[in-house]
Structure 1
Amino acid sequence: MNKVNEEEAVVKAYDSKLMKRLLKYALPFKWQLLAVIMLMFVGTGLDLLRPMLIKNAIDNDINGYKGAYTIVQSPAEGSIKLGNGYVIKGANKDGKAVSMVYYNKKYYIVDSKVKENGSFTLNVDKFTQDGNIYNAYQLSNEQIRILRAADVSDLIKTVIYTLLICISVFLLGYLSFYILQKTGQKIIFDIRNDLFRKVEGLSLSFYDKNPVGRLVTRVTNDVEALNEMYTGVLVYLFKDIFILVGILIAIFSMNVKLALIILCSVPFVIIGSAIFKKYDRDAYREVRAKLAKINSSLSENISGMRTVQIYHVEDKMFNKFNEINKSYFKSSMKQLTIFALFRPSVDLVSTLTLAVLLWFGGVKVLNQEIAVGVLFAFVSYLMQFFQPIFDLTEKYDILQSSMASAERIFMLMDNESEIKDLEEPTSIDRLKGEIEFKNVWFAYNEEQWVLRDVSFKIRPGEKIAFVGATGAGKTSIISLISRLYDIQKGEILIDGINIKHMNQHDLRRNLATVLQDVFLFTGDVKGNVRLNDESITDEDVIKACKYVNADKFIEKLPNKYDDMVNERGTTFSQGERQLIAFARAIAFNPPILVLDEATSNIDTETERLIQDALSKITKDRTTIIVAHRLSTIKNADKIIVLHKGKIREIGNHEELISKEGLYYNLYKLQYKELENPA
């Protein structure tokens, strides 16, 4: 089985070799990514300052009345007169220390330093604590305003600083997000281009074995999964680390015991994460495998819709798809259930940690061991502490997805099913058109030979026809001339040069093939003739269409050569599509023209137009015709009859008729009764 099909192969959560290959795509953008990391570092640092600012505002400003106050003999700025002295905020060695007390919604100045954590009674103007009685003076609103003016000023500054930090964090976050997303899109652009170029270079034998739906999944879903890794994991991983390290530094600097309470929750989260990863990895692998089956089924059914509807098997095909869809749904729900259990579990650990923190920290606040602001800061940091843990868990899920997608993408990129050129191929320009097969053996699958020791020679400008029963090897020969497949034995020479020694682009530039089933691309008529080759002008397109009589129906279209073409050209008849294909071949002006059953499905009138065109376009060109309808090859210079992969007869029409061999039998089956109706 081809590796690309191994959807259920075991995928590591992290693969260093895959990661190195992925990082190579990010290397050209290292400065942009470094800038994002630095912006995140600054933004995270500012964001972690907010709890500290609020802590200081609570302890130093809102609860600032608990600070030091002094009665001095002389008035000073910010002082109030009280008795025979003046009260100022702050310590002063030349005065007497006093305290401000908040009691029964009123503020008092007590003429002594009191214990903040001690019990007391206050009766009008007397303050009693530990048996000591001090004078107490109730403060008016104006006196309070004067004494606490500095607290109000500092609080306003804190609010301004907080607003500035919020704005800065927003701007830094926006800038880092924009740069990161733009860089991620550029990286994905390069990966998608490399992958599509690889897909274009794979041989047709690869496509014979791999469903289109799975290949589409590679270029779309799997590449998009990598986008999430580049933009959501690699750089944001640094941000999460910055947050965790910053929080640990902040909490240990404030209070070691409270910090250890938060750290005690980490082992429970680690154990839960390990259990989650184990089950999530298996569930995710199953989801990806089922998704690939859905894409494959969709592609197959949509491509074969004509057959489905003709045979009226819509219900049967729906039932088949429904089973695949149900299987995918069950796998998705299984993964969702695992994740749904994990997230609330971490929330539970977070809540329990918060409860312990509030209990332990609250007791310390009541005992005046820590300030209220410290406890507030710890609660804030605890909420921030678990967010990176959530993020890291989700990033693991993304990383799991990315590793699985990267493995499949690089399997495709490393696929050896491609036709390779020599490092220094023979330089060719326009070929003359001499073609020779020398003892050619070819098989699509090992030892199941389609061609057996085939040898023939075609001179430049000759018109050669291949005939034979279905499966004789006719189409294989023209595929080999274009080197869509490589032969196992023998040689194929054009103008005396082995085609394996030629550059594929140079070789195919000298060939034009018109197939029985013409493929038209979405676009307009002239775009389907020139196939994005801008060297072919509009005049060349019109000239080619007139040359093959395609202009007769194109001129009747609403927009003529600019008329839109649906995917596969479904709005055109088979004959019209083949006329466009003829025009396409002529527009490229090749020395070798290949017609593979090109007139087998064309009505009589259209065939007459094509026969007229053929008589002109085959002049001075080596022409190879594969046909069941012998009327198209009667005038061929040479007819080669194939049977079971071997050449049985060679000659012109008259010579082969006179031999009364295989060709004679084919001719008799198609035309004898028409010539002798009696």
Structure 2
Amino acid sequence: MSTGKRLFQYALNYKRIILVALAMLTVAVVADLAGPFIAKRMIDHHILGIESVWHTTDEQSGAVKYKGNLYTKEDMEQETDSAQILQVGRNFVFVDAKIEFDGNRSYEDGVLTINKGAKAAQYEAELLSGEELMGFYRPEIPGIIKLLAFYFGLLIIAAIFQYGQRFYLQKSANRIIQKLREDVFRQIQRLPIRYFDNLPAGKVVARITNDTEAIRELYVTVLSTFFTSFIYITGIYIALFILNARLAAICLLLLPVLFVWAKLYRKYASKYNHVIRSRVSDINGVINESIQGMSIIQAFGREKETQKDFEKLNNEHFTYQNKLLSLNSSTSHNLVAVLRNIVFVAFIWYFGGEALQPSSAISLGMLYAFVDYINRLFNPVQGIVNQLANLEQALVAGERVFKLMDEEGIDVSEEEIPRYKGNVTFDHVSFGYKEGKYVLKDLNFEAKQGETVALVGHTGSGKSSIMNLLFRFYDPQEGKILIDGMDISEMPRQTLRKYMGIVLQDPFLFTGTIASNVSLDHPSISRDTVEKALQSVGADRVLKNLENGYDEPVIEKGSTLSSGQRQLISFARALAFDPAILILDEATSSIDTETEAIIQDAMDVLKEGRTTFIIAHRLSTIRNADQILVLDRGRIVEKGNHDQLMESKGKYYQMYQLQLGNKSKAG
């Protein structure tokens, strides 16, 4: 399914609101487009209506008194004397007769002469004074006032319904984007960890924020403009056909011209916008990287090189912005104005002179209405063209968002199982992050409930990969992992992880408070549980000096707390969830000696009754482990407790002696 169709499917979720908005838009357009019709009637029937045939009458109501006689424009049932008022230059004359034909008019010495081709006619006429002329206009004033009041009422209706349609269209757009963002975020929760290995976090964030905001512009501005313009153009053409079908048919020639023009504009605007969007993304990346690495940039004197990289991207962005500006200037605003003027001049040239003649089928009021509608026709056209670039940006953004949503994910399971004891077995497990390149090879070991198993080895030996498999962030290519005899590959990931706890080398804290970072706002973890967990790991001794205690605010990543404080909070978090299996991934490597002593004192409490896996470089922290697995290039090369491995004087012995020697030299 194309991106456009998928965006349309999202819009259908709120079709009722959109249909209400479109209905209100239609009413607003009809009310707005009635203006030229009202102006036409006002010109033809009231302002120029004074030149109609006047009849003598005996009735006083609404009649005009002139030279002792009463006159009215209304058709009389019985035959009466007729008269006409005609404009000659700037003056008006009264002819006490009905003229046979109309043409070029001239007045001299009380005689009105009308010439039309070879024909000529003369009539006795009287020049009307201003007061006499106003007497004939006076009956038209109530009609003009009624039309003005009617038009003012239509303007109010149009304004109300315009507000309503914009409100509901934007409301539906916000709802659509709200749902889209929730769906994207839900999809991110479903994606395996492997997906994030190759996609920087910034790009994922951009999909949820920048790209969905571009799509929001599609619904709020672009489609709103397109809907409004389409209804306006349709309404204008209907009005033109009502006025004069022949002239309206000629105006239809504009549509193919505008279609070809829009296609050409979109072709080049799309190309430029793709480059501009890419450069904006690159510029954001450079700025973000420079801010995060400012200390390194300044320490190594790389300010000028960083500035040059930024200027290169900025200049490319500037160049393509100028190209887009030139395209807009030549094909958007200016072209619309030129096309409008050409059509306007052609219309006046062909029909203007004829319309000015009273004998023509085209009245002056109709000419005015046509000119007004033709001018109005170009406003929605220009609105559509101006939104083509935003349309292209939204489609590109939609393509990126839907590409993320099409990634294969795993649904969050609500399945519940009884708490397992924590007996872990790795049965001939082999695993690689890339196909055919194993980082773990034929691993076999058991960890019984309550045991502490330490994993040691050089960087890249596979220690963290074992934990990734145990948590099912990844699945092994060969072998299987069992917990209490159950194959974890047959268990839902969320169910498996419910009874696991983890403490990372660099603990992650969320914005909130210390207490909320321990409980993660889980409804089953009470305040008492949070405080007991913090006390159990000795955090109360380290955090007691904070002004707000356990309610101390935590900002992004806990940057206002020391590494030791952050680590203790993560220990308390793991303990509060009461896991059956506890994983400590380099948990004490970044902690000072005093804090490490506090954690070591609390370690017995943490490990009691739990299967604990410890990944450690500092071998002094795992001397009391029940089982130590020594890894080398993905294989277990030694296995046993500290004393057994020291006696065998193998790889573990060498590592321990090396660390002991380094400490002695440091001392």
The alpha carbon displacement at 1:255 in A equals 2.9
Q: 1:377-396 maps to which residues of 2 (within 5 A)?
A: 377-396=369-388
Is residue 345 of structure 1 aligned with residue 335 of structure 2?
A: yes
Preserved CA contact (<8 Å) 1:213 1:298: no
Structure 2 equivalent of residue 91 of structure 1? 75
- Give the direction of change, closer, same or farther, for the CA distance of 1:196–1:178 in structure 2 (3 Å limit): same
The aligned amino acid for 1:110 is: V
Q: Any idea what the Cα deviations from partners look like across 1:411-438, whole Å, max 9, x if unmatched? A: 111113x4567x9x97523221111111
Structure 2 equivalent of residue 30 of structure 1? 15
Structure 1 equivalent of residue 354 of structure 2? 364
Q: 1:506-521 maps to which residues of 2 (within 5 A)?
A: 506-521=495-510
- Give the direction of change, closer, same or farther, for the CA distance of 1:663–1:419 in structure 2 (3 Å limit): farther
Is residue 636 of structure 1 aligned with residue 628 of structure 2?
A: no
Equivalent residue for 1:439, pick from 425, 428, 433? 428
Structure 1 equivalent of residue 564 of structure 2? 575
Q: Any idea what the Cα deviations from partners look like across 1:203-229, whole Å, max 9, x if unmatched? A: 222222112222122111211121122
Query: Residues of 2 paired with 1:196 and 1:125: CA distance?
Result: 88
Q: Any idea what the Cα deviations from partners look like across 1:58-106, whole Å, max 9, x if unmatched? A: 111111211221123x243222444464222233242112101334655
Structure 2 unaligned spans of 5+: none
Q: Any idea what the Cα deviations from partners look like across 1:334-371, whole Å, max 9, x if unmatched? A: 23322222111232111111111222232112333222
Preserved CA contact (<8 Å) 2:500 2:582: yes
Is residue 39 of structure 1 aligned with residue 28 of structure 2?
A: no
Query: Residues of 1 paired with 2:487 and 2:326: CA distance?
Result: 61
- Give the direction of change, closer, same or farther, for the CA distance of 1:673–1:274 in structure 2 (3 Å limit): closer
Query: Residues of 1 paired with 2:122 and 2:471: CA distance?
Result: 111
Preserved CA contact (<8 Å) 1:248 1:259: yes
- Give the direction of change, closer, same or farther, for the CA distance of 1:121–1:295 in structure 2 (3 Å limit): closer
Structure 2 equivalent of residue 57 of structure 1? 42
- Give the direction of change, closer, same or farther, for the CA distance of 1:373–1:491 in structure 2 (3 Å limit): same
The alignment yields a C-alpha RMSD, in angstroms, of 2.5
Is residue 409 of structure 1 aligned with residue 401 of structure 2?
A: yes
- Give the direction of change, closer, same or farther, for the CA distance of 1:121–1:367 in structure 2 (3 Å limit): closer
- Give the direction of change, closer, same or farther, for the CA distance of 1:299–1:502 in structure 2 (3 Å limit): farther
Q: 1:255-654 maps to which residues of 2 (within 5 A)?
A: 255-343=244-332, 344-368=334-358, 369=360, 370-416=362-408, 418=409, 427-654=416-643
Out of 635-644 and 243-252, give the one that drifted further.
243-252
The aligned amino acid for 2:52 is: G
Out of 554-563 and 644-653, give the one that drifted further.
554-563
Give the fraction of aligned pairs with identical amino acids, expressed as a percent. Answer: 36
The alpha carbon displacement at 1:553 in A equals 3.0
SS, match of residue 252 in structure 2? helix
Query: Residues of 1 paired with 2:221 and 2:464: CA distance?
Result: 50
Paired positions, count: 659
The aligned amino acid for 1:514 is: V
SS, match of residue 449 in structure 1? coil
Structure 1 unaligned spans of 5+: 1-15
- Give the direction of change, closer, same or farther, for the CA distance of 1:498–1:427 in structure 2 (3 Å limit): farther
Q: Any idea what the Cα deviations from partners look like across 1:168-223, whole Å, max 9, x if unmatched? A: 11110101111111111111011101111212222222222112222122111211
The aligned amino acid for 1:565 is: V
Query: Residues of 1 paired with 2:256 and 2:664: CA distance?
Result: 93
The alpha carbon displacement at 1:28 in A equals 2.4
- Structure 1 length-normalised TM: 0.91
Is residue 201 of structure 1 aligned with residue 224 of structure 2?
A: no
Query: Residues of 2 paired with 1:42 and 1:48: CA distance?
Result: 10
Query: Residues of 1 paired with 2:519 and 2:11: CA distance?
Result: 36
Preserved CA contact (<8 Å) 1:548 1:579: yes
Query: Residues of 1 paired with 2:347 and 2:665: CA distance?
Result: 106
- Give the direction of change, closer, same or farther, for the CA distance of 1:638–1:101 in structure 2 (3 Å limit): same
The aligned amino acid for 1:536 is: I
- Give the direction of change, closer, same or farther, for the CA distance of 1:331–1:453 in structure 2 (3 Å limit): farther
Is residue 79 of structure 1 aligned with residue 68 of structure 2?
A: no
Structure 1 equivalent of residue 52 of structure 2? 67
The aligned amino acid for 1:263 is: L
Is residue 667 of structure 1 aligned with residue 656 of structure 2?
A: yes
- Give the direction of change, closer, same or farther, for the CA distance of 1:28–1:120 in structure 2 (3 Å limit): closer
- Structure 2 length-normalised TM: 0.93
Query: Residues of 2 paired with 1:85 and 1:589: CA distance?
Result: 109
